[in-house]
Amino acid sequence: MNSVLVSLKQKLSAINELILDKNDVVYFDYPLHLNVGDLLIYAGTEQFFKDYQIQIKLRRALQAFDLKEAKKHIGKNTVILCHGGGNFGDLYPLIQKMREDIVQAFPHNRIILLPQTAHYSCEQAMKKSAEIFSQHSDLHLFSRDIKTFEMMKTYFSSHVYLSPDMAHQLYGSLPQKSQQLSQSRRSVLYFLRKDIEKSHIEAEIQAKLSNLDNVKDWDDILLPSDIKFELWCSRFSKLANKLNLSFVKNKINKLWYQHSLNIISRCQDIFLSYDEVITSRLHGHIFSCLLGLPNQVCDNSYGKNSGYYRQWTSEIDYTKLYEE
């Protein structure tokens, strides 16, 4: 066992200490989409619930969230958990709006934002959002890096904590890469972003390669059947929301969680078939660390990856920052 990764997993216990009644908890914004990084956070969060014997009364994705339904399950002592990740800010407005609605609708409940990286491209949008969050007296925000911590502490809440990502709760439950191969036989997976958070680095790395067969992103691992299933779950969640069919939303939650674990298992097999990973995906880096797989991490467009590396993973002996 790697002592750094054991320590990072143990740090997540600070979240458990804030949960007043382990039988009176709701969990919102689990990822009903195909960003595998978010699915790793989701799996880690559910593992956290199991490890700390936390009973979740209601789980809802964005597509299935309804304030009226939520109010039926939330009493005066209910603790509200919001999913962690890297979508706090103005890049993903629908999810941020959902969190703002929750903060405004439940002013007297303890609300815990699981570990996030925040980014606002517009200072005005940040201050508008902060005005909503700062009015809640029992709001606890977990941040994955110093930059997010300082912004949240200054503008959003007096209860802000530094914490590693929820995916670290998976450490010890995943297989470990054997590192016995010689340097001459090392195969490298270039796991690079293609979305709105990509930077110039992805293009520069690919320009140096003669063969792009080993260049992948999460989308290249996903199957057409994954896309169809996600679309089915998303559409039926929205329909169930309109028709107030809570039991349908509960069933979709169970089906989607199992499918998420299947996707993670497939990704795990692909990652472990390589000897090293060079990645601009934060969870490409975290996943590699959890699997004991040597890796180099490049930055995304706004410094999320280097911030995380410097804060949490730099002392792991088989990972380092990518040098351009």
Is pLDDT at 182 greater than 50 in this prediction?
Answer: no
CATH assignment of 3-170, given 3.40.50, 3.40.190, 1.10.132, 3.30.1370? 3.40.50
Cα(312)–Cα(2) distance, rounded to whole angstroms?
A: 13
Written as six digits, the tokens of 251 are 């069933």
Q: What is the pLDDT of residue 289?
A: 97
Residues forming a β-bridge with 116: 85, 143
Q: What is the pLDDT of residue 229?
A: 98
Give phi and psi for 255, each to the nearest 5. Answer: -65, -40
Diameter over CA atoms, the chain:
62
* Average pLDDT, rounded, for the chain: 92
From the centroid of its chain, how far is CA 224?
A: 23
Going from the C-alpha of 220 to that of each of 138, 205, 315, the distances in angstroms are: 42, 18, 30
Residue ranges of domains in the chain: 3-170
Q: What is the pLDDT of residue 234?
A: 97
Q: Is 172 left (phi over 0), alpha (psi -120 to 50) or beta?
A: left
H helix or E strand, kind and range, residue 173: none
* Of the candidates 11, 36, 5, the residue with the CA atom closest to the CA atom of residue 283: 36
- pLDDT category at 180 given cuts 50, 70, 90 is low
For residue range 69-100, list pLDDT tens digits in order.
999 999 999 999 999 998 899 888 899 999 99
Q: What is the pLDDT of residue 197?
A: 67
Which of 4-13, 95-104, 179-188, 275-284 has the least mean pLDDT?
A: 179-188
Cα(123)–Cα(90) distance, rounded to whole angstroms?
A: 10
For residue range 134-148, list pLDDT tens digits in order.
999 999 999 999 999
Q: What is the pLDDT of residue 179?
A: 61
Burial of 47 (0-12, 13-18, 19+ CB in 10 A): buried
Percent of the chain clearing pLDDT 70 (strictly above) = 96
Q: What is the pLDDT of residue 203?
A: 75
Q: What is the pLDDT of residue 19?
A: 97
| Coil/strand/helix, residue 93 | helix
Residues forming a β-bridge with 140: 112, 159
For residue range 221-278, list pLDDT tens digits in order.
999 999 999 999 999 999 999 999 999 999 999 999 999 999 999 999 999 999 999 9
User: What does the pLDDT average to over 204-221?
Assistant: 84
